[in-house]
Structure 1
Amino acid sequence: MCDESIHQPPIPQQLTPLLLDLADAAPRDLDNGGVLRRLTDHSRKLPGVEATAVISVDERRTNTAKVVAASDDASGQLAQAQLEFDEGPGLEALRTGRRLADLPLGLPSFRSRWPRYVPRSLSEGFTGITVIPLCHEDRAIAALHLHHQHCRHHALPGESVRAAQALSDAAVIGVAHERQLRYVDQLQAALTSRIAIEQAKGMLAERFEWTTHKAFELLRSYARSHNTRLNDLVRSVIDGPPTEGPFRRPSPR
C-alpha cells in the first residue's frame, strides 16, 4: 500500500559523494563487481525505491546476462526469474538500451508484454518498476532495476529517476575503469609469466645442452602429462635446487 504522506528530502546535496564513489574503481572491485554492488546499495536509498538489482552482460559469454547484485533476496530472485523466463523489463532494457521509467506492472498491457515476469513481480509486492540501462561504447552492459509501488496517485518521484540515472552514469565510468585495471593486470601477469618461461627455458637449455625450443616443449609436455600448471612447473625450475625436481641436473660421470 502506498503512503502518500511521507515527505522525502531533496536528493542533489546527497548525491555528490555517491557519484564519486561509483566512478572510482578500487582494486577490491576487480573480482566481485564491486562498482555494481555499490550501485544497488546507493540506489536503494533513493525516495520511493523499495529494492534494487543489477543484471549485466557476461563478458565471457556473448549475449548472456547474469545477476551481479541485488539489495535483497526478493529482488535477486526476480532478476534471476527474467533470465529463466527470457523476458522482463531488465532484459528489454539490455537489448534496446532504452530506459523504462515508472512502469505500472498491474496494467493489462504489461501483463501481455511479460506474461510470466509480471505475476511474479506482483506476488512479491512490487507493482512498479524502473529500469535504467548502463551504456558503454554504444551498447548496454548492465541494467539497474528499481522496484517500487505504483498506485493511482503515486509513482516513483522524478528526482529519484534522475538521481538513479546519474548514479548509473557514474557507475559506467567505474565499470570501465574496473575493466581497464583488470586488463592491465592480465597483461602484467602474462608478461611476468612469459619472462619466467624464458628464464626456465634458458636454465634447462644450459643444464642439459638442449635448444630453448626443446626445453619449452619438454616443459609443456611434462605439465600436461602430470596435470600441472605450466607456471607452477616453471617456478619450481627457477626457484628449486638443480638437484631436485623433474629436471634434475645430471650427476657427473
Structure 2
Amino acid sequence: MGEHSPRVEDDSWPVLADRLAAMARDLLAQESVQDTVDRISAHAVALIDGCDAAGILTLRRRTVRTIAATDDVVRASDAAQGELREGPCFDVVTLEGSVQHIPDLREAGDSWPAYAPRAVELGLRSAMGFRLFDRHNTLGALNVYSFAPNAFSPQDEHVGWLLASHAAVAFAHARTEDQLQTALRSRDEIGQAIGIVRERFDLGQDQAFAVLKRTSQDLNVKLREIAEKIVRGEELPR
C-alpha cells in the first residue's frame, strides 16, 4: 500500500486518539534512545489489536540490527531477514513504500520465498512492517507480528501507521538529543584532556591539542577516546 492507509470510521477512534496522544507524551519523556525504542515496541503490542510481538530493526551498511524487541521471536525474524535479504520489514527499509502487510505468511512465498517459510517455522503467521522516517532519513522499521493468520484488519494497519508516525518523531528526537549530549560530553572531555596534557608537559593549548591529535592518528583511535583515557588518568602512549 502507499503512504496512507484508508481511514476506517469507528466509535473507538476518539479513544484511540487519546491513547496515541498519551503514547506520544510517554515517548518524549524517555531519557535515552534505548528507552524510547523499547517503549515504542511495547506500545505497538498494547495498541494494535492482534499484535503478539513487536520490535524495531535498523539497516546500516547492509547489516540488519534489532534495537528493540518484545519477544525473542522478533530478533529471530530480523536475523532471518538480514541473512536472506528479504522479508516485510527488510523491504520497508530498502524499497519504496512505508507499509507492508502480510495477512498469512504461509501464502507469502511468491513475495519472500526464503523468508516466509522461515517465519512460519518461528510460529509467525501475520506480519506488518512500517517504515520509520523523518524528513531526511529512514530510521528503521517497526515490525508487528501475530501468531495467528489474518490477525490484522485494515483498521489495525491504520493504527500501526499512525503509531509509527508518532514513533518516528520520538525516535528522531531521542537520537538527536543523544548525539547532542555525546558531542557535549566529548567537547568537555577533550577540553579536560588538553588541560591535563598542558600541565603534564608544560605546553601551550595549541601544542597540547596537537599532541592529542597526533596520538589519535598514530593509534587510529578517535580523539574522544584518547581524551577519555587521559581524563581517567591513563598515560599517553609514547
Shorter-chain TM-score above 0.5? yes
Q: Distance in 1 between matches of 2:211 and 2:131?
A: 50
Match of 1:168 in 2: 164
> More deviation in 215-224 or 197-206?
215-224
Q: Partners in 2 of 1:74 and 1:222 — Cα distance?
A: 45
> Following TM superposition, by how much is the alpha carbon of 1:42 offset from its aligned partner in structure 2, in angstroms?
1.0
Q: Distance in 1 between matches of 2:152 and 2:211?
A: 65
SS at match of 1:173: helix
Q: 1:132 aligns to what SS in structure 2?
A: strand
Q: Report the counterpart of residue 3 of structure 2 in structure 1.
A: none
| Structure 1 gap ranges (5+) | 1-8, 238-244, 247-253
Amino acid at match of 1:106: R
Q: How does 1:173-212 map to 2 (within 5 A)?
A: 173-204=169-200, 206=202
Secondary structure in structure 1 of the residue aligned to 2:103? strand
Change (3 A) 1:219 1:115: closer
Gaps of 5+ in 2: 1-10
CA distance in structure 2 between the aligned counterparts of 1:138 and 1:217, rounded to whole angstroms: 35
Cα pair 2:88 2:101 within 8 Å, conserved: no
Q: Are the equivalent residues in 2 in contact too, given 1:25–1:174 (CA < 8 A)?
A: no
Which moves more between the two structures, 126-135 or 138-147?
138-147
Q: Which residue of 1 aligns with 2:121?
A: 123
TM-score normalised over the length of structure 1: 0.71
- Structure 2: distance between partners of 1:235 and 1:106: 56
Compared CA separation, residues 118 and 17, structure 1 to 2 (3 A): same
In 1: Cα distance, 2:19 partner to 2:161 partner? 15
Counterpart-to-counterpart distance in 2, 1:204 and 1:87: 56
Q: CA RMSD in A?
A: 3.2
Structure (1 or 2) with the larger CA radius of gyration: 1
Residue 105 of structure 1 is matched in structure 2 by 105
From 224, 229, 236, the counterpart of 1:232? 229
Q: Does 1:140 align with 2:138?
A: yes
CA drift of 1:125 comes to 3.1
